[in-house]
Amino acid sequence: MGTSNLLRQICLVVLILAPAVARAIDYAGPEYHYYYVSGSATEIAEEMHRKGKDGHFAYTDYRIDYRFRTMPSPKGCAVNWVEVKLQVTIRMPRLVEGGAEVRQRWSAFEPALRRHELGHEAIGVAAAREIDAALWSVRDQPTCSVADSLATRMANDVLASLKMRDESYDSKTDHGKAQGAIFP
């Protein structure tokens, strides 16, 4: 009975003190939604301005959800379980009809626009990873209430910075134009 009790105590200490082995965010990659465009280069540009968000040809939306648990530890209270889920939706135009000149312009434009939107995706992935790391960093707090508040504040601070990061990226790239996303 003594060995069994000791084994249980060791397992409990390991569970309390050891962070999760896998610290991966739950993310399956971006989901693409397309709107269709056709016509002359000018007509397509006008259509993309109308159908895009806020006059932009494409956009990327994020949803980052997080959950965590805290548990008393020998030094107070710490986060002992974390789950971070990321969903990214990229809305892009898709050419359905156009002459040879339009298709040629499109073949340079579309990959550049996609590359720009994938930059926004990378910002979301980085934020999700930062939230994961921030939550796991909550250790040795005096109470679990303090640990819960600190973890929530740290995760929400990262979420609040997302808009600023996207705006900075768009400013640096001129909404993808500096990356070749120019049409017509």
Instruction: List, for residues 80-125, the tens digit of each pLDDT value.
Output: 999 999 999 999 999 999 999 999 999 999 999 999 999 999 999 9
pTM of the model: 0.84
Distance CA 106, CA 69 (A): 49
In this prediction, residue 2 has a pLDDT band, given cuts at 50, 70 and 90, of low
| pLDDT tens digits for range 136-163 | 999 999 999 999 999 999 999 999 999 9
Distance CA 158, CA 76 (A): 25
Given a cut of 80, whether residue 75 has pLDDT beyond it is: yes
Q: Mean pLDDT for the chain?
A: 90
CB neighbour class for 146 (10 Å; exposed up to 12, middle 13-18, buried from 19): middle
Residues ≥6 apart with Cβ < 8 Å to 96: 36, 37, 38
Which percentage of the chain shows pLDDT scores above 90? 84
Query: What pLDDT is attached to residue 117?
Result: 98
Is residue 127 within 8 Å of 66, Cβ to Cβ? no
Query: What pLDDT is attached to residue 24?
Result: 84
Mean pLDDT calculated for residue range 24-45? 96
Q: If residue 138 lies in a helix (H) or strand (E), which one and from where to where?
A: none
Query: What pLDDT is attached to residue 149?
Result: 98
Which percentage of the chain shows pLDDT scores above 70? 88
